[in-house]
Chain A
Amino acid sequence: MNRNPTKFWRRWPDPIPHPKAEGVFPPTQAMLSEPVDPATAEAQAARLRKVWKLPTGAHYWTAVNNDQVGKWYTMTAFGFMLMAGLLALAIRVQLAVPDNDVLSADRFNQFFTMHGSAMMFLFAVPLFEAFSILLLPGLLGARDMPFPRLSAYGYWSFLIGGCFVLGSILFDVAPSSGWFMYPPLATEGEGIGPDIWLLGLSFIEVASIAAAVELIVGTIKCRPPGMRINLMPLYAWYVLVVGVMILFAFPPLIAGDFLFELQRSLDWPFFDPERGGDPLLWQHLFWIFGHPEVYIIFLPSIAIASMVVPTAARQPMVGYSWVVLSAVGTGFLSFGLWVHHMFTTGLPQLSLGFFSAASEAVVIPTGVQLFAFVATLMVGRVTMSLPILWIAGAFAVFTVGGLTGVMVALAPFDWQVHDTYFIVAHLHYTLFGGMVFPIIGGVYYFYPFFTKKMLSQRLGRWSFWTTFIGFNVAFMPMHIAGLMGMPRRIFTYPEASGWGLVNLISTFGAFIVAAGILIFAWDLIRPKSRQPLTERNPWRAGTLEWSHSVPDESWGVRSIPYITSRYPLWDQPDIVERMDSGRYYLADAREGLRETIITSAVDAIPQSVARVTGPAVCTLVAAFFTGGAFILPVFHLYWAAGVSGALAVAAVIWWLWTSTAQVPETPMKDVGLGLRLPTYVSGPDAPGWWAIFITMTGDATAFASLVFAMFYYWTANPDFPPQDAIHTNLFWIAAGAIFFILSWAATFGARLLNRRTLVKYARALLVAGPIAALCGAACLALAFWVSGMDPATHAYPALVAAIIVWTLAHVVLGGIMQLYCLAGSLKGKLTPQYDADLWNTTLFWHFLLATCIIAALVVGPLPRLL
């Protein structure tokens, strides 16, 4: 570019350089050991306390601090779990004796469907997010998550969606087709049950993805200075892996829900074989989500074990790299297993063979981590505390579930036990051992960190042994019931079947489990105001969260430490004292803003100071209207849903405009220990840019699932697209693609010109961008319209229409983002130096352009070639 000085762009001003950190890093020992003046420290603490103060009174519910949101989230998920548990007890009562009639067949169907759905979507996955939101900032010595309002938004969405889905059971309209909603049963289902499931849970899935974005960015960008990737707490590794898994696992289900709901409300026949559809497509999309989901549930719980085990053993984790291998390896391999839920659907033998083989392969990394834990316990000196008791129970139960898993991964064995109680036993062993036991162990372990009080040792032991014994009494006989041939999901069985005794034992065991869980629940909520505060580090642990303040302070950490070890509290003498005295970074809040440090992804070198958001009503409003947009279509109130959706978008814009990417009062600030950091960064250094990148990766996965559907139909159906099918109009498709390229170029150009201080040209491009986007959208719609395709006649036009609708919705969003940048530029919020919004919009448009071009190819020329 610089070679030819006569080129016209050489006459343009140079781009404004991005600010970089200045000063000393890492800090020297002399700097760290220099004492802080107590009067200064006191003044700093007072300012920090004021900035991080929780809102009081009714405004309490506008809080966004991770410790508050995390507590609400955890308790809500636990409440949903208790309700789903009640459903299970009702199921067990009905099955206790042959020919029982406590529940009608339809009510039984509603109960087991909601039991499974609620345990999976309202308890297991959200609890990981809840726990991680509570824990992660503490583990990383950060003040808060990078996007506190996003956590709050996710929580409120979860609460609204969860109450809606679970509440349906009170009105006798709950979904009743099983937690995986197989068509044609679910597509043909009368009533609004399937719609409640599809829309309510889609809403919660969106909230899950929001949490995943938050947790990934938190792990990558909010580590304390010096905490390199090889020093990261193992829990953070698991969070990172699980967050990425959510990004690739949930979107296929969202795409499936999208198709399913289009079939339910508009009669577009995606899963109807009579009109070219295929019910198996749903099974694929569901299990591409559903199998990784098992590991999404399991890994975070084992992550808790990875924190408890070293503490109990008084010994750093043996084979840290091996545990990381195990987390990452399981994360990958778990995506290659989904067909083992579909062994009986008549897929080619060869396919069954390699899915079976892959299912066996995933045992290897799972085994590696269990051995690493056992090795740690063996070389250490174990103190048998309550948390480790629960973890030990988890290992025992999970191992049994894992071994039956190895059995059912073999296709011929699976053919025998498919859809029998053997599977019910297997999945409960993996989920109780892989999730419930370690989570409760985690609650016992982290409770002093969350609440500054201890749980009862005595109740804990009672709860453990009751749950452990009851669980085995309830579920071990189910293996036998299954081998005796008892199918799943039957509401009763005849006496002659001979299944009466084992079922009675199971029911008996189920009530013992319930008693154990109730003891735990009582311990959790019993009033503890007269109980003394816990000591600061009751378990003598080595990780950073145990530097927490007792009594509680809402600032997270008093000052953000410099880390040089995996177990700083064991290996770095004086660290807690120095943190407390404000010796480390960001000990002050002079500007009255909530701040945390952003560091580089691998070596955790400080990069900038992020101003994080505080209490807000806008997130509540946004969650409320987003809920409306998802819930109202259940009752066919499409206009009201549209209005609600528009209001949700407005609320989100209000939220972004008033609190994100604000022009700072100074470009650089002193953060302590001789280090000066930028207060505003844009592009790949900024957490917001990462959030867009991660969100769009998930979005691209959902879009890829729609494209997959096109190829899937082609392989599954000998006549697809049909010989006499009408295709879209190629001229309008091509015109649309050109407009999209222009709009993308305008956005990209606006970013480059704006950075070179050519603000007027940038604004002109930001006017041209949305116009081109609108023209492109019109062309794409026309391409479908003029062809005269009718989506209700066949799966081919239906899928083309669905891809176009998906693309158009994204183009509208892209246009809104361009206009948002334009408004920011006019208002002085977006300037050549402070241009994060424009970077993020450009990044969005990179993904959008790829979506548009692929969509154009897939709905235009491709079907003509198939």
Chain B
Amino acid sequence: MFDRFQRTRSLWHMVAAPLVWAVHFVSVYAATSVICAKSAATGDARAIIVGLGLLAISVIAFIGWRAWLQRDLDPDDPVVNQATDDHRRAFLGHVGLLLAAISAIGVTYVSLPAIFIGTCQ
């Protein structure tokens, strides 16, 4: 897993996008709890959540773009089941790309309530 941190050989790069999701989730949870408990300045909370959401989405988009480049599937035979460096690289890229997509959806979902809900209580 630590294999020299080479991009195309690293599980860490594959899970980078959901890690961003996790950090984003914790930040939003912490920010909401603190603001709602300490100041009740809901406007701030909503602005912060939307801001964090946009930031996380852009980082995930970047990760997804890199994964897209790494993915590089053969359109005629997109199954990466060969015991080769190429297929392993494409596989990690493909899963990384899909995880970026799901993380982006996750971040969007978590940010939406800030647009629709006006108050802490």
Give me the interface of A with B, judged by CB distance under 8 Å.
Answer: 220, 226, 228-231, 316, 320-322, 324-325, 328-329, 332-333, 335-336, 348-354, 356-358, 360-361, 364-365, 563-566, 600-603, 684, 711, 715-716
When distances are taken between beta carbons in the complex, the residues of chain B under 8 Å from A351 are 29, 32-33, 36
List of 7 A-B pairs having minimum Cβ-Cβ separation, nearest first: A353-B113, A230-B91, A357-B109, A325-B98, A332-B18, A564-B83, A348-B36
Report yes or no: B81 in contact with A602, Cβ–Cβ below 8 A.
no
B61 interface residue, CB < 8 Å from A? no
Chain A at the B interface: SS class: helix
Beyond A333-B106, A364-B105, A715-B37, whether A358 also contacts B120 by CB under 8 A is no
Report yes or no: B110 in contact with A602, Cβ–Cβ below 8 A.
no
Chosen A-B contacts, 16 in total, with CB atoms closer than 8 Å, are: A230-B80, A316-B81, A325-B102, A328-B95, A328-B99, A333-B102, A336-B106, A350-B36, A353-B114, A356-B113, A357-B112, A361-B105, A361-B110, A602-B9, A602-B10, A711-B30
Q: Which residue of chain B has the shortest Cβ distance to A712 in the bound complex?
A: B33
| A-contact 0/1 string along B1-34, CB 8 Å cutoff | 1110000011100110010011001001110111
Q: CA separation between A601 and B9, bound complex, in Å? A: 9
Report yes or no: A357 in contact with B113, Cβ–Cβ below 8 A.
yes
Q: CA separation between A565 and B79, bound complex, in Å? A: 12
Beyond A220-B1, A357-B113, whether A229 also contacts B92 by CB under 8 A is yes
B88 interface residue, CB < 8 Å from A? yes
Q: CA separation between A564 and B46, bound complex, in Å? A: 52
Report yes or no: B81 in contact with A360, Cβ–Cβ below 8 A.
no
Report yes or no: B88 in contact with A336, Cβ–Cβ below 8 A.
no
Contacts A328-B99, A364-B105 known; list 19 others, CB within 8 Å: A226-B83, A228-B87, A229-B88, A230-B80, A230-B88, A230-B92, A321-B98, A324-B95, A328-B18, A329-B103, A332-B15, A333-B106, A349-B117, A350-B42, A351-B36, A353-B117, A354-B28, A354-B113, A357-B110
B49 interface residue, CB < 8 Å from A? yes
Report yes or no: A353 in contact with B28, Cβ–Cβ below 8 A.
no
When distances are taken between beta carbons in the complex, the residues of chain B under 8 Å from A716 are 37
When distances are taken between beta carbons in the complex, the residues of chain A under 8 Å from B87 are 228, 230
Q: CA separation between A220 and B2, bound complex, in Å? A: 11
Q: Give chain A nearest CB distance to B86 CB in angstroms.
A: 10
Report yes or no: B42 in contact with A602, Cβ–Cβ below 8 A.
no
Beyond A230-B88, A602-B10, whether A328 also contacts B113 by CB under 8 A is no
Residue in A230, A316, A324, A360 with the greatest tally of chain B CB atoms within 10 Å? A230
Q: Give chain B nearest CB distance to A831 CB in angstroms.
A: 26
Chain B at the A interface: SS class: helix
Report yes or no: B109 in contact with A361, Cβ–Cβ below 8 A.
yes
Q: CA separation between A333 and B17, bound complex, in Å? A: 12
When distances are taken between beta carbons in the complex, the residues of chain B under 8 Å from A324 are 95
Q: Which residue of chain B has the shortest Cβ distance to A318 in the bound complex?
A: B79
Q: CA separation between A566 and B91, bound complex, in Å? A: 13
When distances are taken between beta carbons in the complex, the residues of chain B under 8 Å from A348 are 32-33, 36, 120-121
Report yes or no: B83 in contact with A565, Cβ–Cβ below 8 A.
yes
Q: Give chain B nearest CB distance to A229 CB in angstroms.
A: 6
Beyond A360-B109, A361-B109, whether A322 also contacts B121 by CB under 8 A is no
Q: Which residue of chain B has the shortest Cβ distance to A220 in the bound complex?
A: B1
Q: CA separation between A716 and B25, bound complex, in Å? A: 19
A684's partner among B2, B33, B34 (CB-CB below 8 A) is B2
B45 interface residue, CB < 8 Å from A? yes
Beyond A353-B117, A358-B109, A603-B88, whether A332 also contacts B22 by CB under 8 A is yes
When distances are taken between beta carbons in the complex, the residues of chain A under 8 Å from B109 are 354, 357-358, 360-361
Report yes or no: B49 in contact with A350, Cβ–Cβ below 8 A.
yes
Q: Give chain A nearest CB distance to B37 CB in angstroms.
A: 4
When distances are taken between beta carbons in the complex, the residues of chain A under 8 Å from B58 are none
When distances are taken between beta carbons in the complex, the residues of chain A under 8 Å from B112 are 353-354, 357
Beyond A348-B33, A364-B102, whether A354 also contacts B91 by CB under 8 A is no
When distances are taken between beta carbons in the complex, the residues of chain A under 8 Å from B45 are 350
Q: CA separation between A322 and B102, bound complex, in Å? A: 11
Q: Which residue of chain A has the shortest Cβ distance to B109 in the bound complex?
A: A357
When distances are taken between beta carbons in the complex, the residues of chain B under 8 Å from A603 are 3, 9, 85, 88
Q: Give chain B nearest CB distance to A284 CB in angstroms.
A: 10
When distances are taken between beta carbons in the complex, the residues of chain A under 8 Å from B83 are 226, 228, 231, 563-565
Residue in A333, A354, A601 with the greatest tally of chain B CB atoms within 10 Å? A354
When distances are taken between beta carbons in the complex, the residues of chain A under 8 Å from B18 are 328-329, 332-333
When distances are taken between beta carbons in the complex, the residues of chain B under 8 Å from A352 are 113
| A-contact 0/1 string along B48-91, CB 8 Å cutoff | 01000000000000000000000000000001111101011001
Report yes or no: A350 in contact with B120, Cβ–Cβ below 8 A.
yes
Q: CA separation between A348 and B30, bound complex, in Å? A: 12
Report yes or no: B80 in contact with A321, Cβ–Cβ below 8 A.
yes
Q: Give chain B nearest CB distance to A672 CB in angstroms.
A: 19
Report yes or no: A320 in contact with B11, Cβ–Cβ below 8 A.
no
